[in-house]
Amino acid sequence: MTSPTTLAVARVRRWLAATKMPRGEVAARAGVDEKTLRLSARPGWNPTANTLARLEALIPPEWT
């Protein structure tokens, strides 16, 4: 069974790949460092719960 955290990380990664918003803007809106977003493309990216929640909050509810 896949953990909720693993599913959330995958969802954030998919959204980051799909969004047209510049990475700097995503970082600023989420209140995270831009380096965090660059690291998200690497295997094994393990964001803190706070970072993950901040990024998830930017994803529109209707986005799948």
Over residues 13-57, the pLDDT tens digits come to 999 999 999 999 999 999 999 999 999 989 989 999 999 999 999
Note the pTM of the prediction, 2 decimals: 0.89
| Burial class of 63 by CB neighbour count within 10 A (0 to 12, 13 to 18, 19+) | exposed
Per-residue model confidence (pLDDT) at position 12: 96
Task: Identify the H or E element spanning 40.
Answer: none
Q: State the Cα angle at 63 between 36 and 1, rounded to 5°.
A: 75
Q: Are 49 and 4 in contact (CB under 8 A)?
A: no
Query: How many separate domains does the chain show?
Result: 1
In a domain, 49, yes or no: yes
Please compute, for residue 47, the number of CA atoms within 13 A of its CA located in the half-sphere on the CB side: 28
Per-residue model confidence (pLDDT) at position 30: 97
Per the structure, the complete domain to which residue 40 belongs is given by 4-56
In a domain, 64, yes or no: no
pLDDT confidence band for 1 (50 / 70 / 90): confident
In a domain, 51, yes or no: yes
pLDDT confidence band for 63 (50 / 70 / 90): confident
In a domain, 62, yes or no: no
